[in-house]
């Protein structure tokens, strides 16, 4: 099954896309925490506005996604060796459909869960990387313990970007790497086969929340 969201999808979706890149002189733990906490309200305000059209909402969503996440870096990681062996045309085609998958999967959930807020916790530096850290957070829920979500953030060229999200210890990037690698291997190592499969599923609405 292609791209099934890791736990818990509905709970983390607001936090995932409530972020946008902001200038920073160098990676700093406090600035990283502020990046997550300070920009959350902007995204919720933009994307939960009932007065805007669906097309405008989708455009805003795509903009926030590309501002907040290092999409090319994520693409390189989830494809692994298949990225290195792919043409630039195949890479670009994959990244385009990957964005479509994210939009179809998360935008409806974001709209439905616009009141959800995450709480910033500790910042954990990554060993031997002075440009990167995990920012830990919790997402409250009506019953039971809060969901634990950790954000892998890197400072690059004066901006903070998200490279991965771990929800309850499950890595989004690692999950996609495993799923996508399986599809590519089953199709003779061709990245174009994965891209075509994802495109067909997007066209059929397969990633829309059920």
Asked if residue 88 has pLDDT above 90, the reply is: yes
Asked if residue 210 has pLDDT above 70, the reply is: no
pLDDT of residue 105: 85
Domain parsing of the chain, residue ranges: 9-203
- Look at domain 9-203 and name its CATH class: alpha beta
Bond preceding residue 8 cis, omega within 30 of 0: yes
Q: 111-168, pLDDT tens digit by residue? A: 666 666 778 888 888 888 888 989 898 888 778 888 898 989 898 777 888 899 898 8
Least confident of 15-24, 123-132, 184-193: 15-24
DSSP letter at 8?
Answer: P
The residues that bridge with 153 in the sheet, in sequence order, are: 133, 162
pLDDT of residue 197: 97
Number of helices (H) and strands (E) in the chain: give both, helices first: 8, 5
pTM, 2 dp: 0.80
d(CA 205, CA 101): 9
Q: 78 with 177: CB under 8 angstroms?
A: yes
Q: Say whether 171 sits in a helix, a strand or coil.
A: strand
């Amino acid at each position: 099954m292609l791209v099934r969201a890791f736990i818990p999808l509905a709970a983390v979706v607001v936090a995932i896309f409530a972020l946008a890149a902001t200038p920073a002189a160098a990676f700093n733990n406090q600035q990283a925490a502020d990046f997550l906490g300070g920009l959350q309200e902007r995204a919720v305000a933009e994307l939960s506005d009932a007065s805007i059209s669906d097309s405008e909402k989708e455009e805003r969503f795509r903009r926030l996604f590309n501002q907040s996440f290092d999409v090319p870096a994520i693409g390189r990681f989830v494809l692994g060796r298949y990225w290195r062996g792919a043409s630039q045309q195949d890479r670009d085609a994959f990244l385009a459909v990957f964005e479509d998958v994210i939009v179809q999967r998360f935008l409806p959930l974001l709209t439905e869960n616009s009141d959800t807020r995450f709480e910033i916790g500790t910042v954990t530096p990554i060993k031997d990387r002075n440009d990167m850290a995990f920012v830990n957070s919790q997402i409250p829920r009506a019953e039971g313990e809060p969901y634990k979500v950790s954000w892998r953030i890197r400072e690059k060229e004066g901006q903070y970007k998200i490279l991965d999200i771990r929800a309850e210890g499950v890595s989004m990037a690692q999950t996609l790497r495993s799923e996508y690698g399986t599809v590519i291997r089953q199709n003779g190592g061709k990245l174009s086969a994965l891209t075509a499969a994802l495109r067909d599923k997007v066209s059929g609405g397969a990633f829309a929340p059920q």
